[in-house]
Amino acid sequence: MHTQISNRDREVISRVRASLNHYGVLDPKLPSTFPQGSGIDLAVALQALQRPSDGFAVIGDLGFNGDVLPVRGILSQGDVLNPRAEYRHAIVPWDNRLEAAHAFSGDVYAVKTIQEAIDVVRGNNALAYLQKRVPCTPDPMPVDLLPEQLGEPMRRAASALKQGKVIHLQGRPGCGKTMVARRLVWQLPTLSYPEALLISQSASERGLLDPNKGLATQRPFRAPHHTASIRGLEGEAKLARHGILFLDDLQEFSPAQVRVASGAPQIRVVLASSPLLDPYNDAALQRYNKRLQQLLDLFGEVETIELPPKPSR
């Protein structure tokens, strides 16, 4: 009876075999079973080479030339955020080194090739890079270049945000609603290290974490489009935790979509809408206002802030 090999395992076999062939191992003896999860190529290769990696989490994909490639979700695999993780020490891809230093409480060795990983498990770490944890330093607030006419709406929005209200920015297209909404991120409290870890974890799982930083240095600002699916909006709400979820053109969202935003934990919601462009059609205006109010009623206390039109040149 033959065991069915999954497409994922077949791809792992292909990458590992090609990578080991590059090092002159022409007929590697690959294990019959593979661990769950992603980024297992390097661990499988070391097992095939009979290089035990006891005491280390071994994470990384492999290129056909033996290079160790970066993976997503390193923070979720370490013991810092996952107390059930088996290992405190890790061997990780070079490009994941900064993130991994925050994921594991022990030693983190960053490697670029299979040979460097072999040296680590042998105890010869000369070729590997021992990554130390880099402190989380929040990004400084950018220079405020807000147009003069948006100064008062910005102050009102910042005040409402501190009071825990949902903010509704209303104004004609091009008046600066998105500009104000983006700047509200800097009105939230300074990012703490535990918050940075959780924000980075969500971003890493989706491949959105900056490898040159390894950890989020500012609160997220997510602005999903009204055509997003419910599942897509749920993902956006998760990415927006400890930051702002911005629903622009609120009137275009469905009640089901808006409920995702109104029920999401640990986010601040900012809404925006534009007035009906045909104010002389009373029936259409009533329908529009009724729909908009129904959507606003799905939230708690909402403060509507009118933005002046963009000055004509």
Q: Which CATH number fits domain 7-131: 3.20.20.210, 3.40.50.720, 3.30.230.10, 3.40.718.10?
A: 3.30.230.10
| Lowest mean pLDDT, pick from 7-16, 109-118, 170-179 | 7-16
Region 10-17 average pLDDT: 88
Phi and psi, residue 72, nearest 5°: -90, 160
Q: Are 271 and 170 in contact (CB under 8 A)?
A: no
What pLDDT is stored for residue 279 in this prediction? Answer: 63
Q: Has residue 307 got a pLDDT over 80?
A: yes
Q: In the predicted model, is pLDDT for residue 1 greater than 50?
A: no
Q: What's the Cα-to-Cα distance from 212 to each of 95, 146, 208, rounded to whole Å? A: 8, 29, 12
Residue with tokens 């489009």: 225
> Which two structure tokens, joined as six digits, stand for 66?
């033996």
Which of 63-72, 134-143, 186-195, 252-261 has the weakest average pLDDT? Answer: 134-143
- Segment 200-253, tens digit of pLDDT: 999 999 999 998 888 999 999 999 999 999 999 999 999 999 999 999 999 999
Amino acid at the residue 286: Q
- Homologous superfamily (CATH) of 148-306 is P-loop containing nucleotide triphosphate hydrolases (3.40.50.300)
Percent of residues in the chain assigned helix, strand, coil, to nearest 5: 40, 15, 45
Q: What rounded mean pLDDT belongs to the chain? A: 88
Tell me the pLDDT tens digit for each residue of 31-80: 777 777 789 999 999 988 888 888 899 999 999 898 999 999 999 999 99
pLDDT higher than 60, residue 10: yes
- Residue 46 C-alpha from the chain's centroid: 30
Dihedral (Cα; 100, 103, 104, 110), 10-degree rounding? 0
Q: Are 175 and 309 in contact (CB under 8 A)?
A: yes
For residue 145, what pLDDT band results from cuts at 50, 70 and 90? low
Residue-wise pLDDT for 95-127, tens only, equals 999 999 999 998 899 999 999 998 888 887 655
pLDDT value of position 304: 96
Domain definitions of the chain by residue range: 7-131, 148-306
Mean pLDDT of 167-180: 93
The structure tokens 């013991």 sit at 79
Q: Report the pLDDT value the prediction gives residue 313, as an integer from 0 to 100.
A: 62
Higher local confidence (pLDDT), 223 or 86: 223
The residues near 72 (Cβ < 8 Å, ≥ 6 apart) are 38, 39, 204, 205, 206, 207
Backbone angles phi, psi at 76, to 5 degrees: -75, -15
2-6, 169-173, 261-265, 297-301, range with the lowest pLDDT: 2-6
Q: Above 80 in pLDDT, residue 132? A: no
pTM of the predicted structure, to 2 decimals: 0.86
